[in-house]
Each structure stands twice: as C-alpha cells, then as structure tokens.
Amino acid sequence: MKKTVFTGVATALVTPFADRAVDYDSFGRIIDWQIESGVDALVVCGTTGEASTLVDREHIDTIAYAVKRAAGRVPVIAGTGSNDTVHAIYLCRAACEAGADALLVVTPYYNKTSQRGLINLYTEIGDSVDKPMILYNVPSRTGMNIAPETYAALADHKNIVGIKEACGNISAIAETASLVGDRLALYSGNDDQITPLMALGAVGVISVLSNVLPKETCEICRLFAAGRVAESAALQLRLLPLIKALFSDVNPIPVKEAMAMMGFCSAELRGPLCRMEPEKREILRRRMIEAGIELK
C-alpha cells in the first residue's frame, strides 16, 4: 500500500466568514480546537468550506493560513478540484506551494465528463504535482459518479493514494474495494456510513460531524480499529439523529449554524446558500443538546 495521508478522522472544516470576508481569527481557533481534540488531519476548502464561492486568492490564502496554523501538528489536505482541468492543476500547484500535505480533488461538476475523461483528468493532475492526491466522489453534488473500474485504472498512479467516497452505494463501494485492494486508501465521505465502510476496509472518514464532535467521531474509528466493532457501531447509531440534523439542509448550512451555536464563528454563508429555517434550526439545537454538546 502507498503511504497513507492519514488514518482515522479528517475534519472537513467550515470556512468562517465575517462581513463577507474570511474570518481568520475564528478559523484559527477552530483549527486549534480540532487538533487539540485529537483529529488526525484537516481538510481545508472542501465542500464544507464553501470552496466554490472563494475566489482563487482567498482559496490559496485560506490553505496557506491553515498550513501555518496547523504547524505540522496534523496533515492539511487542500480541496483543489474544478470542472476545468487547467484550473484544477493551477489550484493543485498553488496548494502545494502553500505547503499543503495532500490534495482532495473532486470530480468535475456541471459539464461533467465520461469515465475516460476522468482517467485523463486525474492522470494529468497527478502528473502535474508532487503531493499525494485523494479522489473525491460525491454524485449528489457533481452529477457524476466514479465507477469502480475507473478507480482501478487510476490506482497505480504514484500520486493517487486515496478515495473519499460519498456515493452512498455500499455495493458499489464494496466492488471498488475489491478492485483496488490496498493500492488506494478508502475514506468514508458520509458520516452515517463510517462503521459500515470500515467493515469494507476503509481507514477512516473525511467528516462534517467532527466539526462539532471531533472526539466522538475519532472514537468511532478508534473503536473499530481496536476490534471493538459492536461499540463502534453503537456509537455510530447513537449519533445518527445529530448526523441527520447536520444534513437536514444543504451542507454546510446546518454545520455553520451548529458552530455558531457553539460560539466558534458566525453562521454567515456565501450566497446562494442561506440560513436555516427556524424549525430546522430548533431540531438541530435539540439534537446537539441530546448529543452532549455545550451551547453558548
């Protein structure tokens, strides 16, 4: 197996905003708290970080800030995907220059492509950088899916080392795992499937849940890795109501509300995202309290 970027939990960090600008003070506090809480890596400028609303300068500066703040304590993984190959390569190279330890590259969106186009895209990006790359499959966002056979075709590229799989199709994920073996590290991209995917060989999760419950999310993975599968599953199931509430609106709307309720940052979003309806927010608040989260 290639060198794994991380095992366990990588938090897909929110990007705090204040008056439409990145709020670096709040971002720094979040980064410190996450690391102190035991997460194994940080993902910056991913879907949860509202990367698609950041202009390139903000995108690169946010990655550079996270790298500096983390100061080598955990790997920083930069979201650098695009629906344009040239732009994706630009972002990947800029993230590498900013000091990112690895790249998270989502499939193209809107214009999409074929499976052959995906192989071309990821091969070209992989040939253009010297950092490990995790492929990100999230069909609900992008409108396209990475087929198991496509993963297999890419698995021997020296810079392609992992998969964030958020397709939700356990059967397809099992087929992928059987085809790639130990050539690619598999990570759950869905918080409600951490234990099930680890049963198929996943080595961890890239998580939204861990923004608000980093220790507990890590515990799901650590229990499984220690062979305490029933306990891992029990904790996974206990947190399902909160996970459901965190995805009761378009991500990252609910998790931004949750972080605001915890006092970490404002709930400010960039349009077209908008604040949760009061009824949904109240359900989220109740689920957070039930999960033992202290609100401000």
Catalytic residue ranges: 136, 164
- Residues contacting 11, CB < 8 A, separation 6+: 34, 39, 41, 42, 43, 207, 210, 211, 214, 217
